[in-house]
Structure 1
Amino acid sequence: MNKKDVSHIRNQFKRQNDHLQIEEIYNVYVMKESSEIYHEQTRPFERLEEDEQTLFLTNFKKLLAGQLDQKLFELSFNTGGEDSAQQRLYQALSTDDKETWQSHMKNMAKKLLDARQYETDVVITFIKASYTKPTRSRTDETAEDEFDSTYNHPFILCTINQTQDPKKELHFDYAEKAFKYNVVVDPVINLDKPIGGFLYPCFVDHAQDVNRVLYSVGQSKEIDLTFVEDVLDAKEPTTASEDKFTFEEIVRDAYGYEMNTDNLASMYESIQRTIETYEETDEEPVLDYKDIGEVLHYSGLPDVDPDKVKTAFENVTDNEQHELKARNIVPKYNQKSIKIDTKVAKVAISPEDLRHVKQVQMNGRRYLMIEVEENTVIDGFTMIPEAFGQKDSNDDQSQ
Structure 2
Amino acid sequence: MYDIPGKSSDKISMEDASNEVYHGLLCSICPVTLSKPALSYFANEGVIANRIRDWIVGMPMHGFLFPAFTDRTTDIHAALYFSKKNDALNESFINEIIGVNPPMSSVMQKETFEAVLYDVLRDELTMPVMSALSSNMLDLIAENSQNPEPLVLTKNDMVKLISKSGVSDEAVESYEKSADADIEVLADNVVDTKKFEVKTPGITVKTDTDSIEKLETRVIDGFKYLLVPIEDDVEVNGMPVKA
> In the alignment, what sits opposite 1:37?
none
> In the alignment, what sits opposite 1:329?
190
User: Does 2:73 correspond to 1:212?
Assistant: no
Give the drift of 1:132. 2.2
> In the alignment, what sits opposite 2:92?
226
> In the alignment, what sits opposite 1:288?
154
> In the alignment, what sits opposite 2:4?
132
Give the drift of 1:308. 1.9
1:270 alignment partner, one of 124, 129, 136: 136
Query: What per-residue deviation string (whole Å, max 9, x for no partner) do you get for residues 181-202 of structure 1?
Result: 3331332222xx2121111122
In 2, the alpha carbon distance for the partners of 1:380 and 1:241 equals: 33
In 2, the alpha carbon distance for the partners of 1:241 and 1:351 equals: 21
In 2, the alpha carbon distance for the partners of 1:262 and 1:148 equals: 57
Give the drift of 1:350. 3.7
Q: 1:160 to 1:352 in 2, by over 3 A?
A: same
Structure 1: stretches of 5+ with no match in the other structure = 1-128, 386-399
Q: 1:174 to 1:358 in 2, by over 3 A?
A: farther
Give the drift of 1:354. 2.3
TM-score scaled by length of structure 2: 0.78
Query: What per-residue deviation string (whole Å, max 9, x for no partner) do you get for residues 123-168 of structure 1?
Result: xxxxxx32525547x99xx89x557766543211111111212222
> In the alignment, what sits opposite 1:354?
212
Q: 1:379 to 1:339 in 2, by over 3 A?
A: closer
User: Does 2:43 correspond to 1:185?
Assistant: no
- Between the two proteins, what is the percent identity of the paired residues? 20
In 2, the alpha carbon distance for the partners of 1:279 and 1:135 equals: 25
Once the two structures are superposed, the pairs formed by residues 368-383 of structure 1 within 5 Å of their partners are: 368-379=226-237, 381-383=239-241
Structure 2: stretches of 5+ with no match in the other structure = none
TM-score scaled by length of structure 1: 0.51
User: Does 2:173 correspond to 1:307?
Assistant: yes
Partners of 2:131 and 2:213 within 8 A in 1: yes
User: Does 2:39 correspond to 1:170?
Assistant: yes
> In the alignment, what sits opposite 1:17?
none
Q: 1:294 to 1:353 in 2, by over 3 A?
A: same
Q: Which moved more, 1:240-249 or 1:198-207?
A: 240-249
Partners of 1:244 and 1:328 within 8 A in 2: yes
In 2, the alpha carbon distance for the partners of 1:250 and 1:374 equals: 41
In 1, the alpha carbon distance for the partners of 2:80 and 2:22 equals: 15
Give the drift of 1:213. 1.6
Which letter does structure 2 place at the counterpart of 1:362?
I
Query: What per-residue deviation string (whole Å, max 9, x for no partner) do you get for residues 164-222 of structure 1?
Result: 122222334567665x13331332222xx212111112233224332222211232211
Q: 1:308 to 1:380 in 2, by over 3 A?
A: closer
In 2, the alpha carbon distance for the partners of 1:131 and 1:370 equals: 57
User: Does 2:111 correspond to 1:245?
Assistant: yes
Q: 1:277 to 1:379 in 2, by over 3 A?
A: closer
> In the alignment, what sits opposite 1:159?
28
Which letter does structure 2 place at the counterpart of 1:184?
I
Partners of 2:6 and 2:18 within 8 A in 1: yes
In 1, the alpha carbon distance for the partners of 2:230 and 2:16 equals: 52
Which of 1 and 2 has greater Rg?
1
Q: Which has the higher contact order (CA 8 A, sep 6+)?
A: 1
In 2, the alpha carbon distance for the partners of 1:246 and 1:185 equals: 46
Q: How many residues align?
A: 242
In 2, the alpha carbon distance for the partners of 1:186 and 1:381 equals: 52
1:195 alignment partner, one of 41, 61, 67: 61
